[in-house]
C-alpha cells in the first residue's frame, strides 16, 4: 500500500515476520470465525489491551463489523514490570474498564501472547467480574516463550521467539505504527 517512498522504519528491520497482506487476510479470517461462533448473541464486548492492541483492535473491529454481531469496545491498559524486552508477570492497571462487564460476552483483543503472564493475570481479573463468556483473540503468539499456559481460542500467527516490533508492538515506544511485524537489526539496540 506504499507509494514507493521509503519509510523511516524499513531500514531498521532485519526481516519481516508477518507482512501487511498476511495480517489483513488473517484478520478477515479471525473475524469470520468469531462472527460464526457468536452468531447467537446480541452483541460482543471487545476489550482491547493498550497500547499494543491498538492497531489490531481497530482492524479487527472493522472486520467484525462486516459480519456481526454488533460490537462494543472497551480498553484496558496494563503494564507488566519487565526488564527491557521481557516481562515479569507482576501486572499493574494503568487504565481500568469504564463499565461493568457482568453478563457480557467479552472478547479480549491482544496483540501478542509472549510469556502469557499478562494475559493469565488479565483473564483472572476479568473472570472475577462475571462475564457471560470470556475468550481471547491474539494476533501473535510465541509458543517457545510460554511461561504460563492460557487458553487462547483464536490465534493469528505462531511466531518464533524473537523480539518483534510493528503493528502496535514497540521497542522503546517506537515502531508501533509499522503496518507489518518484523525483527529489528541488531545495531538498533546499540544506538
Q: Which residues pair with 48 in a beta bridge?
A: 75, 109
Collapsed DSSP state (helix, strand, coil) of residue 172: coil
Q: How far is the CB of 180 from ligand PRP (least distance, A)?
A: 17
Nearest residue (CB) to ligand PRP, 13 versus 53: 53
Q: How far is the CB of 47 from ligand PRP (least distance, A)?
A: 12
Query: How many chain residues touch ligand PRP (CB under 6 A)?
Result: 18
Stretches 16-24, 49-57, 128-136, 154-162: which one binds ligand PRP (CB under 6 A)? Answer: 49-57
Nearest residue (CB) to ligand PRP, 116 versus 166: 116
Nearest residue (CB) to ligand PRP, 35 versus 150: 150
Kindly state whether residue 118 participates in binding ligand PRP, applying the rule CB under 6 A.
yes
In the region spanning residues 150 to 189, those forming contacts with ligand PRP, defined by CB under 6 A, are 170
Residues 73/135, Cβ–Cβ less than 8 Å: no
Q: Which of 3, 114, 130, 144 is catalytic?
A: 114
Tell me whether the omega of the peptide bond preceding residue 51 falls within 30 degrees of 0, making it cis. yes
Applying CB under 6 A, among 74, 115, 165, 183 the residue interacting with ligand PRP is 115
Rounded to 5°, the CA angle 145-158-104 comes to: 95
Residue 114: active-site member: yes
Nearest residue (CB) to ligand PRP, 41 versus 97: 97
The b/e string for 82-113 (b: 16+ C-beta within 10 A; e otherwise) is eeeeebeeebeeeeebeeebeebbbbbbbbbb
Q: How far is CA 19 from CA 22, 128, 166, 180, in A?
A: 5, 37, 10, 5
The residues annotated with a catalytic role in the active site are 114
Binding residues for ligand PRP, rule: CB under 6 A, are 49-52, 79-80, 87, 110-119, 170
Amino acid at each position: 500500500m506504499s507509494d514507493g517512498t521509503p519509510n523511516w522504519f524499513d531500514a531498521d528491520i532485519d526481516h519481516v515476520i508477518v507482512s501487511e497482506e498476511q495480517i489483513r487476510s488473517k484478520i478477515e479470517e479471525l473475524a469470520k470465525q468469531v462472527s460464526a461462533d457468536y452468531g447467537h448473541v446480541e452483541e460482543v464486548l471487545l476489550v482491547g489491551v493498550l497500547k499494543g492492541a491498538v492497531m489490531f483492535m481497530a482492524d479487527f473491529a472493522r472486520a467484525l463489523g462486516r459480519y456481526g454481531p454488533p460490537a462494543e469496545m472497551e480498553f484496558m491498559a496494563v503494564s507488566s514490570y519487565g526488564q527491557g524486552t521481557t516481562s515479569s508477570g507482576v501486572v499493574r492497571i494503568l487504565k481500568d474498564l469504564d463499565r461493568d462487564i457482568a453478563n457480557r460476552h467479552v472478547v479480549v483483543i491482544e496483540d501478542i501472547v509472549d510469556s502469557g503472564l499478562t494475559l493469565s493475570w488479565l483473564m483472572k481479573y476479568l473472570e472475577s467480574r462475571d462475564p457471560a463468556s470470556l475468550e481471547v483473540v491474539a494476533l501473535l503468539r510465541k509458543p517457545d516463550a510460554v511461561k504460563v499456559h492460557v487458553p487462547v481460542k483464536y490465534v493469528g500467527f505462531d511466531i518464533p521467539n524473537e523480539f518483534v516490533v510493528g503493528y502496535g508492538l514497540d521497542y522503546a515506544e517506537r515502531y508501533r505504527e509499522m503496518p507489518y511485524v518484523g525483527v529489528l537489526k541488531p545495531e538498533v539496540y546499540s544506538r
